[in-house]
């Protein structure tokens, strides 16, 4: 009986959401040696061989399914900064707090429900400050009903680049 009530609640919630979509992305997280200034090269974390990582756009109510392959030689985890993980802490991406991290060569799928949120957030790596090595991108949850009208909506985000990786910067000789 309890199972039937749960299924009914899920059905009603889906109806209330309207026509929510399942937005599925496939990320292969690896490293790429890039030149940002035309002179020097840096070792950067990339997604699908792209630096910077393209922004993620969904509409409020959508479910983001993020299929991650860890092609790094160290563990990684993905944190959607600002998302309320009510009863889904295991998708929070805080390595050794809410999850063990994704081992090198392994896959993990994050499922992020955006029913109760909208706004400009960001997604970043949550292991050993991988975000300082380029593992970061905007995560935009567009409102279903826009509160105002405007001509254009632009996302500007700035990055600070270091000549060394995070591991090199904190290495103790």
Q: What is the pLDDT of residue 49?
A: 94
CB 20 within 8 A of CB 8: no
Task: Say what percent of the chain tops pLDDT 90.
Answer: 28
Half-sphere exposure of 173 (CA within 13 A, CB side): 1
Task: Tell which wins on pLDDT, 114 or 1.
Answer: 114
Task: Say what percent of the chain tops pLDDT 70.
Answer: 78
Determine the Cα–Cα distance for residues 81 and 126; give it in Å rounded to an integer.
10
Beta bridge partners of 108: 68
- What pTM, to 2 d.p., does this model score? 0.77
Q: Which two tokens stand for residue 165?
A: 């990786």
Determine the Cα–Cα distance for residues 144 and 104; give it in Å rounded to an integer.
38
CB 91 within 8 A of CB 109: no
Q: What is the pLDDT of residue 90?
A: 57
Average pLDDT of the segment spanning 96-124: 84
Q: What is the pLDDT of residue 3?
A: 43
Least confident of 11-25, 55-69, 103-117: 11-25
Tens-digit pLDDT profile for residues 60-105: 999 999 999 999 999 998 888 777 666 565 555 555 555 678 999 9
CB 76 within 8 A of CB 135: yes
């Amino acid at each position: 009986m309890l199972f039937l009530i749960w299924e009914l609640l899920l059905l009603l919630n889906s109806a209330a959401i309207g026509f929510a979509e399942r937005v599925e992305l496939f990320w292969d997280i690896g490293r790429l040696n890039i030149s940002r200034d035309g002179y020097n090269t840096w070792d950067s974390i990339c997604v699908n061989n792209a630096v910077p990582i393209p922004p993620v756009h969904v509409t409020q109510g959508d479910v983001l399914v993020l299929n991650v392959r860890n092609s790094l030689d160290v563990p990684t985890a993905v944190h959607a900064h600002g998302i309320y993980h009510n009863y889904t802490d295991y998708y929070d991406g805080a390595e050794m707090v809410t999850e063990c991290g994704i081992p090198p060569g392994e896959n993990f799928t994050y499922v992020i429900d955006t029913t109760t949120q909208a706004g400009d957030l960001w997604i970043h790596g949550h292991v050993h400050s991988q975000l300082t090595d380029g593992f970061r991108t905007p995560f935009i949850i567009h409102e279903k009903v826009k509160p105002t009208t405007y001509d254009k909506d632009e996302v500007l985000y700035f990055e600070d680049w270091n000549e060394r990786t995070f591991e090199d910067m904190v290495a103790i000789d």
